Amino acid sequence: MTVLFVYGTLMFPEVLKALLAGRVPRHAPARINGFQRYRIKNQVFPGTVKAAQSQVQGLCLFDLQQDELQVLDEFEGDEYYKEEVEAQLLDGGTTTATVYLWQDSLRSYLYGAGGWDPEAFREKELEAYVEMCGRFAADVRQQRDWKGEFPLSE
């Protein structure tokens, strides 16, 4: 099973529930070194890129199922690519994890190094974002059910 390091909107249980048919995977606080999180122009979610001497705080999600990873891959879209990283768990351990990184070709959309504020997102954007995530996940499940890729789950 894949471990996924998340650093933005996927840190919120409400978002995970909306995207993963009501499930919040087991998770633990973690950080990755050599990366920097940025705000993205005209978006409520962040992007992370490689950056020496920096680190990003987030969560490691454990026990993700293949169909859940496929939903998250579709959700993240082409603006991100996946890379394996070494995540330091805040309890002292380490684990290999996959992270969605912002495409280098889109760096011009990034600003405010470290400036994406999870609490501001929670206060101002979370409710509408969760609704959007629920609609997105329902559309993905409906498309996959139509194609016979996996049974409808709600």
**DSSP H or E run through 145:** helix 126-147
3-state secondary structure of 31: strand
* Alpha carbons 126 and 122: distance in angstroms, whole number: 5
Q: Which two tokens stand for residue 13?
A: 């249980």
Question: Is 125 designated active site?
Answer: no
As beta bridge partners, residue 114 has: none
What span, in angstroms and rounded, lies between the C-alpha atoms of 45 and 118?
9
CA 114 to chain centre: 16
CA distance 130 to 24: 14
Among residues 14, 68, 74, 76, the one annotated as catalytic is 76
Give the active site residues. Answer: 76
